[in-house]
Amino acid sequence: MTAQKVFGIAGWKNSGKTGLAVRIVTELTARGYRVSTIKHAHHDFDIDKVGADSWRHRQAGAH
């Protein structure tokens, strides 16, 4: 079994974190990697809300 790689993305609001995550997930899944993302939130959110950050991660291929 190959060791899992873990890294984080942090930054100010509207600094491009989600866009970067989407590009990374898209590239890694295209290369055959299985990718998961975790979103930290201080409030309730709907993971399936079209256009939301978590929705964009899933559209890019995250599990």
- 58: pLDDT strictly greater than 90: no
Please report which confidence band the pLDDT of residue 42 belongs to, taking 50, 70 and 90 as the band edges.
Answer: confident
Q: Does the pLDDT at position 33 exceed 90?
A: yes
Q: What pLDDT sits at residue 15?
A: 97
Q: How far is CA 36 from CA 12, 13, 49, in A?
A: 22, 22, 18
Q: How confident is the model at residue 45 (pLDDT cuts 50, 70, 90)?
A: low
Nearest to 37 by CA among 17, 11, 12: 17
**pLDDT the model gives residue 39:** 77
